[in-house]
Structure 1
Amino acid sequence: MGGNHVSKYQQVCPNCGAKIPKKTTVCPYCGAILTGAAAAQPNAKPKIAASWTKVKPKARPHGEKWYRNPWILVTIAIFALFGMWVLQKISINHDSAAHMVQTAVLDGHDDYKGATAKWNQKANSVIVTIPASAPVLQNFQHGKLKKWNTLVQALQKESSQIAGLNNGVSNIQVLNPQSHRHVILQIKSGKVAYNVSDDL
């Protein structure tokens, strides 16, 4: 009999290779558990699981394009909208707010000829100055408020747009042309806070 012969009363530990009694469930040499299939098959080698790194991912069906997946398209659209929203939020600043008032309301209108809009840090507002000779104020002095009311509405609209880009904050003040220490119109976030015409 060879040295590797295993009698019918023996089994081989699949872990250390030692010959042990057939009914033994725990190898006395290495402590390996020999229950189940390992104990029933004395010459069986321990089964080694295939490495997960060798498992290939399931191939994408032939001809399928990533851009045809509706969920991917929805995700891209959401990120695009969020990016546009962020750009709008960070693009507005004090100088650009004054520029918006200047270009959208004052420039190109003979009624407000010579008017300017500038940011005032101390007042935390866009300050609008209109020459006393401008038609809008000349008419106001004679009790004709149509041009003045048009200006008020235009500034309200612009204030609302600026507020939408500036976390709801937008202050616009129109100064008295004869004394810049006094305000004749004040608009906060699209709403009139003070209008000198209400005092008439």
Structure 2
Amino acid sequence: MLNTVHIGGAVRMAQETTKKCVMCGKTIPAYSNFCPYCGAKQPWLEDDEVQNKDARKLLKWYQKPVGKFVTLVVSAIVILWFGSLFSLQDGPGHNKVARELTQYFFNAQDHTPYGDKPSVKADKKKGVIVKIDQSSKAMKNLKAGKPAQWNYLVKRAQNRSKAFSGIYADQINAKFKVVDKHNPKKVLLKVNQGKVTYNIADKYSK
């Protein structure tokens, strides 16, 4: 297709490269990624199809080792940047997660079946640590063969751990641990990526 271009009284003929849409068959500009008529995505032009010199040079540059290297570096930076958006950070990020989990586990109540003022901490190196009272009503019921309240806490820990494993880049955030608030070394429950790896209830069910 020839277009007439007027420049300073002179007439110049400029060639415009076109192609056919792969879906509807209508004539569209050669460098269209999508058909303006039917919206169909168009295939990338091969090197011998590219008529524009600048586009051809750019394509050849990307095909060279340096072009491929730059593309990989840029891609890596973008991936790392997106990953950082979903990683727990120090400070407010951890506090926000802790508040959300306190609401989720204990409805933000001070007096619960798991003792008074149970706490949740989101630690960058240790994961999520939930502190409850081992002498609480829920634990006494568990020992007495009534595990309903304890199982509720276990299920909630599993759900959040599994969700965090899909949200956060650092899988340490998917590690949940429930301990006795009076003796933090006393572990009552461990959950990793939604799977229970230790449950003190197994001790009482034997």
RMSD, aligned α-carbons: 3.7
Q: 1:89, 1:165 within 8 Å by CA — same for their partners in 2?
A: no
Query: Which portions of structure 1, spanning 4 or more consecutive aligned residues, are displaced by more than 6 angstroms?
Result: none
Pair 1:68–1:195, CA change in 2 (3 A): same
| Structure 2 unaligned spans of 5+ | 1-11, 19-26, 43-77
Q: Any idea what the Cα deviations from partners look like across 1:51-98, whole Å, max 9, x if unmatched?
A: x9821355759xx984841328xxxxxxxxxx9xx8587234162554
Amino acid at match of 1:161: A
Pair 1:158–1:186, CA change in 2 (3 A): same
Count of equivalent residues: 134
Query: Which residue of 61, 73, 88 corresponds with 1:93?
Result: 88
1:117 aligns with 2:112: no
Deviation at 1:176, TM superposition (A): 1.6
Partners of 2:185 and 2:163 lie apart in 1 by 27
Taking only the aligned residue pairs, the percentage that are identical comes to 22
| Structure 1 unaligned spans of 5+ | 1-51, 73-82
Pair 1:164–1:188, CA change in 2 (3 A): same
1:173 aligns with 2:177: yes
Q: 2:83, 2:169 within 8 Å by CA — same for their partners in 1?
A: no
TM-score scaled by length of structure 1: 0.52
Pair 1:131–1:176, CA change in 2 (3 A): closer
Q: How does 1:1-200 map to 2 (within 5 A)?
A: 54-58=14-18, 60=28, 66=36, 68-71=38-41, 90-93=85-88, 95=94, 97-108=97-108, 110-112=112-114, 114-122=117-125, 124-132=126-134, 134-167=136-169, 169=171, 170-200=174-204
Q: 2:88, 2:124 within 8 Å by CA — same for their partners in 1?
A: no
Q: 1:97, 1:162 within 8 Å by CA — same for their partners in 2?
A: no
Q: 1:129, 1:175 within 8 Å by CA — same for their partners in 2?
A: yes
| Structure of larger gyration radius | 1
